[in-house]
Structure 1
Amino acid sequence: MKILLINHYAGSDRMGMEYRPFYLAREWAADGHAVTVLGASFSHLRRIQPEIRADHEVTVEDGVRFRWLRTRPYQGNGSGRVVNMLTFVGKLLTDARRIAREERPDVVICSSTYPLDIYPGARIARAARARLVFEVHDLWPLTPVLLGGYSRRHPYIMMLQAAEDFACRNADRVVSILPDACGYMVGRGLEPAKFAHVPNGIPIAALQAAVPDDLPPDIAARIAEERAKGRFLVGYAGGINPSNPVEAILDGAALLAGEPVSFILVGDGSSAPELRARVGQLGLDNFHLAGPIPKWTVQRFLTEMDALSMPWRRSPLYRYGVSPNKMFDYMLAARPIVQSCDASNDLVRDAQCGITVPPEDPAAYADAIRQLIQLPQAERLRLGENGRRFVEQHHDYPIIASRFIAALGPA
């Protein structure tokens, strides 16, 4: 099968996020499919941008073929990002027939976070007589409305809503990482039989094959220092930004001050300066922002912890379910997880790998940490192994890629 996967922000292990298109394409290529990932030459999510000089240049990353359209660099979420987005979509529309003629896909997957790529994707699919698939990562525009405070009457939101509705009415298949999004999509015009759930995952073999790098000296020293104090270590690895409410971990740490537990967070983001200021104001010695670490050292860090923390905000958005990559990284590390969440699904419960408490409830979170501390070590190890077994059985990328192909149905 020839697969064209359109994702504005597509990256790779070398370039950085977004990883899902790369991991899916790598598995599909290994299974004998001819795959091309079509992305924009600039993304704020990547550490490294592809070096191209013209539209439609092709590069190869670990056996995955990428085709690029040039877009301007930008910073933040202002007008520059909108221009970058519209440039990418505009070039896709203009060059749709060329792309269809040169790629000759059997399947066109529109997979950018925002839904505007469905219009050129439909044009490419029609010209190539290919099946059209709309892949939903987050529900847009519902996510910026509920989490970003945008009005439903904002012109940008109305434009995104029109695109989502078009996708629901015209796609041959809608694949969502969110387990309970079908009802929402049906409300936007989708036929229920066209919906399929294919969750997120992680490339377990690649992670296990990577040589475990030493942790940065300052982080290794911090871990050793906290261990010397006889403290139970709770870790977090991820963004320190408004979408990840790590202040909830800080609130729990404040309630646990004076008890034998410390919290170590790796990652960075726009909320880090404010969080550091709060730590200083509270005078806590059990909460440490350790900064970002290289991707391939994350598993090493996680396995140095006694437990791992997964905070969520309370939001009606999560009634459609969640499928966070971070959760699967945590499970692979085989450490018990404390999740603060009120979603329609509960991965921690399903895996029997920890404790779930209500979001934005510091007292409940602190009590869950106390429960884990009081458990015998053998019981904590059992919870951790439950998580590892669950992710190996359900969320390894060879499994995810096969589920996606199966979800497409017969040709």
Structure 2
Amino acid sequence: MRILYINHYAGSPQHGMEFRPYYLAREWVRAGHEVQIVAADYSHLRQKNPTLAANYADEDIDGIRYTWCKTPRYEGNGLSRVINIFRFLGRVMGLSGRYLKQWRPDVVIASSTYPLDTVPAAFIARKTGARLVYEVHDLWPLTPVEVGGMSPRHPFIRLLQWAEDFGYRKADTVVSMLPCALDYMRSRGMAAEKYVVIPNGVDVAEWQGARAPLPEAHRAQLAALKAGKRFIVGYAGGHGLANALDFLLDAANLLRDDNIALLLVGDGADKQALLEQAAKLQLDNVHFLPAIAKHAVPALLAECDALYIGWRKLPIYRFGINPNKMFDYMMAGKPVIHSVEAGNDMVAEAGAGISVGAEDAAAIADAIRRMAALTPNERGRMGAAGKAFVLARHDYRVLAKRFLQGLK
């Protein structure tokens, strides 16, 4: 089978996020399929973007043919990003001749977070007789309206809404990463039988291989905390508004008399504000460290006693959440403290930790105390349950097979 995967932000191990297209495509290639990924050369998500001398460049990565499309850089979510989006869509249409004449796909996947790529994907699928798949990461334009505060009457939002509805109508299969979005998608014109849930996952081989060592600063901090016999609650990931780390710091303020330490590893737009909050509260039980390489994350998580993930109290989460960080946490075999209000809760479902409400510092502090009061064996059983849950449901080898089995 020939699979054309259109994802504006697709990354790879050598470029950085996002990884889902790479992991799925790699498994399909291993199964004997041909896969081509079309992506923009510039993405704010990647650690390293390719450099193009022409409008297009092809590159082989682990048997996957990547076609990079030249697009302008952008900052934030303003006009420059909109220009970047439309330049990419134009580049995809410019490639359509290749897929109509040289390499005719059997499946075309539109997967760029925003729904506008459903249009060139549908054009290529119709001309080649391929099956069309609309892969939904987040609900656009609902996310920029409910989370970003944009008016539903804004011309760009209206265009996104048209494109989303178009995708639901035209696609042969709608692959949703959100487990609770069926009713919403049906309300936008999708036939229920098109709906297939394929969540994010984890590359199990990365956890079974050799672990990269931690930087010296991280090793030294962990050693000092262990010497003080602190119960270490770790967080590894972005320090942004969505991560609700300000409530974790408020919880730390309530825990200042406990022998508990919070270790926050990562970077992000809100890190400076969090540092200032910790300084204002005079928190000596919170320790910030820089982000580390992806392959060093297992070594970091292994040194923690429990792990934390939190969310804002946002209506958009009623459709479900699907965080990559959660899979790393569970693969580490550590119990998880989950602060959440959403349509699903993997920690509760797996029996992998303690769940409390979102944006509730007192409840977070209480959950941390309860976790610290458990015996190592009790926490170990929680961690083992989480790992078993991920291996059964979120291994990319399993998800890649389910994805193709779900095509209609």
Q: Which structure 2 residues correspond to residues 9-408 of structure 1 after superposition, within 5 A?
A: 9-209=9-209, 211-408=210-407
> For the residues of structure 2 that align with 1:294 and 1:80, how far apart are their CA atoms?
29
TM-score, structure 1 length as denominator?
A: 0.97
Q: Post-superposition, which runs of at least 4 consecutive aligned residues in structure 1 deviate over 6 A? A: none
Deviation of 1:99 (Å): 3.1
Contact 2:34–2:64 (CA<8 Å) still a contact in 1? Answer: no
Q: Distance in 1 between matches of 2:211 and 2:98?
A: 44
Q: Distance in 1 between matches of 2:18 and 2:163?
A: 22
Q: Distance in 1 between matches of 2:245 and 2:102?
A: 47
For the residue of structure 1 that corresponds to 2:220, the secondary structure is: helix
Q: Deviations over 1:377-403 (max 9, x none)?
A: 111011111111111111110001011
Q: CA deviation at 1:86?
A: 0.7
Instruction: Quote how far apart the aligned CAs of 1:52 are.
Output: 3.0
CA distance in 1, matches of 2:39, 2:102: 16
Judge which range, 215-224 or 23-32, deviates more. Answer: 215-224
Letter in 1 for 2:55: D
Separation in 2, partners of 1:56, 1:72: 13
Shift of residue 69, structure 1, vs aligned partner: 1.4
RMSD: 1.1
CA distance in 1, matches of 2:92, 2:129: 17
Q: Is the 8 A contact 2:206 2:295 kept in 1?
A: no
Give yes or no for contact 1:175–1:198 (8 Å, CA) kept in 2: yes
C-alpha contact 1:40 1:71 (8 A) present in aligned 2: yes
Give the conservation status (yes or no) of the 8 Å contact 1:5–1:37: yes
Partners of 1:100 and 1:125 within 8 A in 2: no
Check conservation: 1:334, 1:385, Cα contact below 8 A: yes
Task: Specify every segment of 5 or more residues in structure 1 that has no aligned partner in the other structure, as ranges.
Answer: none
* Alpha-carbon distance in structure 2 between the residues aligned to 1:100 and 1:36: 14
Query: Following the alignment from structure 1 to structure 2, what is the Cα–Cα distance between the partners of residues 99 and 276?
Result: 50
Instruction: Output the CA distance in 2 between the equivalents of 1:108 and 1:54.
Output: 25
The 8 Å contact of residues 207 and 331 in structure 2, kept in 1 or not, is answered as no
CA contact (8 A) 2:174 2:196 kept: yes
Unaligned runs of 5+ in 2: none
Is the CA contact 2:144–2:150 (under 8 Å) kept in the aligned structure 1?
Answer: yes
Verify the 8 A CA contact 1:4 1:103 in the aligned structure 2: no
